[in-house]
Amino acid sequence: MGFSYQIVVEKLLRPVIRACLRHTVHYNELMELVKKSFVTVAVEELERHSQVANVSKISVITGLNRREVTRIFREKGEGKRESAGITRRVLAAWENQKEFRTKGGKPRVLTYEDKDSEFHQLVFSISQDMAAKTVLNELERIGAVEFTPQGVRLVKASSALTRESSESFDVYTTELEHVQQSLEQIIYGDRKPKNHHLMTEFDNIPKSKLPQIRRWLVREGAAFHKKVRNFLASHDLDINPDPTKEGGETVRISSKSWTSGWEDI
């Protein structure tokens, strides 16, 4: 690994270490997690190139000795990443599939009490393996729905998460990975057009204006992502089936705001 990339990796590690210090994850614990992550990613990379992952190959790729790799396999299995949360996919379909929206384009109140209900149909359109009742319980737990005499109503968009949601940290870690992948495609990729990547920063804002600015950014950001979701939904084959087209590709756009003054969080 060249010296320049060592510097990049060191900088990438700083926010991870900062999070560890805030949440009392000590050096020895982090090193064990690093080993497990090396094995997990090595398995993913081998499988991505249609190679069978075994202890010998993983040991060569990662630099971990065979004993360590075997131990991690035994404790963790083959280290495959969990599939994307079905709750988020259900919420996105509820917001974007025509049969679950009103004429005005808002998510409809859905019946939910039996297997022929609209909510069961919604979940079935996403997965035939997950019980609709299980999904509904999770949506209720994270505060995404409320029950009315007419049925279940969506009160939180798929882009919104609570701190109590188990998916919050999944989004956090996935976001970090996709930021890295996006930047590497921009820096090293030669495909046209390039990925979108912009940053806007002003560094002499009055502290008294920060609450107003945060509210504006949240409001305008939500409006932008609603426009993006509507556009991407018009091309998604889960929502618009077309047997003549081959799907499976992923498009992701994220945005975030940061203001000074929250360093104690």
pLDDT confidence bin for 16, thresholds 50/70/90: confident
The answer to whether position 194 is within a domain reads no
Of the three residues 116, 133, 154, the one that is the final residue of a domain is 154
Of the three residues 76, 99, 123, the one that is the final residue of a domain is 76
The answer to whether position 92 is within a domain reads yes
Residues 94 and 70 in one domain: no
- Alpha-carbon distance of 32 to 40, in angstroms, equals 12
Range of the domain at 35: 3-76
Of the three residues 76, 102, 124, the one that is the final residue of a domain is 76
The answer to whether position 7 is within a domain reads yes
The answer to whether position 146 is within a domain reads yes
Q: What percent of the chain has pLDDT over 90?
A: 36
Q: What is the pLDDT of residues 191-243, one digit of tens each?
A: 777 778 788 999 999 999 999 999 999 999 999 999 999 999 999 998 888 99
The answer to whether position 212 is within a domain reads yes
The answer to whether position 173 is within a domain reads no
The answer to whether position 162 is within a domain reads no
Q: What is the mean pLDDT of residues 153-159?
A: 78
What one-character DSSP code corresponds to residue 85?
Answer: P
Residues 120 and 66 in one domain: no
Q: At what angle do helices 86-96 and 132-141 cross, to 10 degrees?
A: 90
Q: How much is the pLDDT for 97?
A: 87
Residue whose pair of structure tokens reads 């990925």 in the numeric block = 195
Domain count, the chain: 3
What one-character DSSP code corresponds to residue 151?
Answer: E
pLDDT confidence bin for 82, thresholds 50/70/90: very low
Taking the model in full, what pTM does it have?
0.51
The answer to whether position 238 is within a domain reads yes
- Alpha-carbon distance of 70 to 74, in angstroms, equals 6
